[in-house]
Structure 1
């Protein structure tokens, strides 16, 4: 009887072991398939504002910096890298998912190795936008200047890899552009200069022309796969609620008059990208619209279902106005940022960025399979 029990136990153990090893083998094969798929991507390049700036502003003379605590509190080793959040950005998750690298570094970081440069960097600068005035207001790197940095980058690569290999490398890369929020939040709705010359509708068209110019510039430099991120629900940003509500402390709610501007702009952007796809198809370029409006709006409107306790104020300070230097080592910080949609009054938390990345995975998959 004891021998039967022992035999049964051994059989159970062997079956469990076989199942475990089979599962591991399946996972390994699945992992290899993903990596093989992603061999079509040579590098990742990012342009835009603080939502995708991993630290370029550390090397720019501007007050729009985040290279100090509590920023980076939940980044590995608690390092404040210059990312405007408590941890990683959506672009870090995308780069890791593609298989490029775990963290996308800033181009202006002087210590980057050639391999760091080769596999991709971000040229983004917090406070920037499609409107050249937006970057001037914050004294940061404009998108046209980010494009110039990319041209400089190409020369650095060419000097080591040669022109033909560099061209092939750029052709196989993925490009992502994320900007526009500052054009409305920091510029149009806050500073009166553009409102004197543009209606909301004509300002949207002005921005779209600058988007087109940037995309054409990237295509001329060899970009073949470009994803452009739309605007978030800007009327739900804590700072917009604070600055534009009559009683923003006691009665906080999204302001649809501003979010509707973002929705209209996003619709125009999608149409423009489709039009450019038709006109530039002969070059082999592909353009993709990346929607963050709907997923972020859903997180805010149904915050408890995502595990959030607070959706309309940030984790840092009061969460109503603080950002950049106003969110600093002396600021009160919530104990668990994963319970908040926003880290400061403008920027999402690492958890929110991860959820946005997950919502963008179908777009990422389409880009890397193309």
Structure 2
């Protein structure tokens, strides 16, 4: 019973840390912010059940109290062309998503449209997209529905509603992502190409305002740790085994992962993004797949299986470092 209570406390601590790790980078309206770290103040995403909520700037970085959302809701009509788009600094205009299977059900690939047509595979975004957090947030905030990166045709009209660059089993570290999945760096390159297209089509001033008012949602990390703890089962087993050998201490590996994520946040800031949400990792040690693999490797009986505290401790450290 004591072990069960201790596991429950650890799980609750990880959940709290994961929520706190939802960082929103909101800089001042001037572009002369001296250091991206100054702008990386943690704020809370507040949602009003009777109104569409907004991301609010944290006006006092030393205050621990949360800011209240704007009472006015974003416009429900999305811009249809570069000529009709007029930037507004009072609301969020679109959402751009970077992540793993927490934001993608596997349809965001070049081959998926062919498979979808021939095999009648319906992605989870058809009718049930609100089950994924970024789609749920976009709906509640009154933002346009987010198309996937490979659905857009390269025109300005195709990206003004935002884009989802997410790829199932993507990892923060490029070496941890399998060959069929887009790593964090690959998704960042796609996002930067999108920003360049916006600048060419809208002009520098309008594009900068559009990017500044858009939300960049990032959710990755779980596959880095799955590949780290189970390198033999990884899609990139050789590089995952190398990571396990190079970083025998899980906390040292978590610092490497968080440093890479932090650099991605800085890169987005340098490209003009001012509203960035970085999600933490949920208690991976309680995932059924992880529990089965862990205790199978240890030769434990099924009756002895419970959440893996060793893995959850590393995940908790990841979320702590990400929230700092």
TM-score by length of 1: 0.55
Higher relative contact order (CA 8 A, sep 6+): 2
Q: How far off its partner does 1:124 sit?
A: 1.4
SS at match of 1:45: strand
* Equivalent in the alignment of 2:195: 154
SS at match of 1:118: coil
* Equivalent in the alignment of 2:42: none
Q: How far does the alpha carbon of each residue in 1:143-186 deviate from its partner, in whole angstroms, 9 at most, with x for none?
A: 11111111111122223211210111001111111111000112
Distance between the aligned counterparts of 2:147 and 2:132, measured in 1?
A: 11
Structure 1: give runs of 5+ residues left out of the alignment.
1-28, 272-370
Structure 1 residue 94 corresponds to structure 2 residue 137:
yes
Indicate if the aligned counterparts of 2:99 and 2:184 stay in contact, CA closer than 8 A: yes
Distance between the aligned counterparts of 2:204 and 2:216, measured in 1?
A: 20
Structure 2: give runs of 5+ residues left out of the alignment.
1-49, 54-70, 77-89, 232-239
Structure 1 residue 241 corresponds to structure 2 residue 291:
yes
Give the alignment of 1:73-84 within 5 angstroms: 75-76=126-127
Structure 1 residue 262 corresponds to structure 2 residue 315:
yes
Distance between the aligned counterparts of 1:172 and 1:34, measured in 2?
A: 15
Larger-Rg structure: 1
Q: How far does the alpha carbon of each residue in 1:312-343 deviate from its partner, in whole angstroms, 9 at most, with x for none?
A: xxxxxxxxxxxxxxxxxxxxxxxxxxxxxxxx
What is the aligned-residue RMSD (CA, Å)?
A: 3.2
For 2:207, which of 154, 157, 166 is the aligned residue?
166
Runs of 4+ displaced beyond 3 Å: 29-34, 36-39, 54-57, 67-75, 110-116, 246-252
Structure 1 residue 141 corresponds to structure 2 residue 192:
no
Indicate if the aligned counterparts of 2:195 and 2:207 stay in contact, CA closer than 8 A: yes
Structure 1 residue 47 corresponds to structure 2 residue 90:
no
Q: How far off its partner does 1:114 sit?
A: 3.9
Q: Answer 1 or 2: which has greater helix percent.
A: 1
Give the alignment of 1:1-370 within 5 angstroms: 33-36=71-74, 40-53=91-104, 55=106, 57-59=108-110, 72=123, 75-76=126-127, 88-101=131-144, 103-111=145-153, 114-135=156-177, 137-190=178-231, 191-198=240-247, 199-245=249-295, 246-247=299-300, 252-271=305-324
Indicate if the aligned counterparts of 1:60 and 1:140 stay in contact, CA closer than 8 A: no
Going from structure 1 to structure 2, the CA distance change for 1:68 and 1:183 (only over 3 Å counts) comes to farther
Going from structure 1 to structure 2, the CA distance change for 1:48 and 1:263 (only over 3 Å counts) comes to same
Distance between the aligned counterparts of 1:88 and 1:69, measured in 2?
A: 21
Distance between the aligned counterparts of 1:218 and 1:88, measured in 2?
A: 26
Distance between the aligned counterparts of 1:96 and 1:216, measured in 2?
A: 27
Q: How far off its partner does 1:264 sit?
A: 1.4
Distance between the aligned counterparts of 2:271 and 2:250, measured in 1?
A: 32
Indicate if the aligned counterparts of 2:97 and 2:163 stay in contact, CA closer than 8 A: yes
Going from structure 1 to structure 2, the CA distance change for 1:30 and 1:100 (only over 3 Å counts) comes to closer
Indicate if the aligned counterparts of 1:177 and 1:227 stay in contact, CA closer than 8 A: yes
Distance between the aligned counterparts of 2:313 and 2:258, measured in 1?
A: 17
TM-score by length of 2: 0.62
Distance between the aligned counterparts of 2:134 and 2:290, measured in 1?
A: 25
SS at match of 1:35: coil
Q: How far does the alpha carbon of each residue in 1:217-258 deviate from its partner, in whole angstroms, 9 at most, with x for none?
A: 101110101111011100111110111114575554221221
Going from structure 1 to structure 2, the CA distance change for 1:152 and 1:112 (only over 3 Å counts) comes to closer
Q: How far off its partner does 1:47 sit?
A: 1.0
Q: How far does the alpha carbon of each residue in 1:5-54 deviate from its partner, in whole angstroms, 9 at most, with x for none?
A: xxxxxxxxxxxxxxxxxxxxxxxx95694525995101111112111125
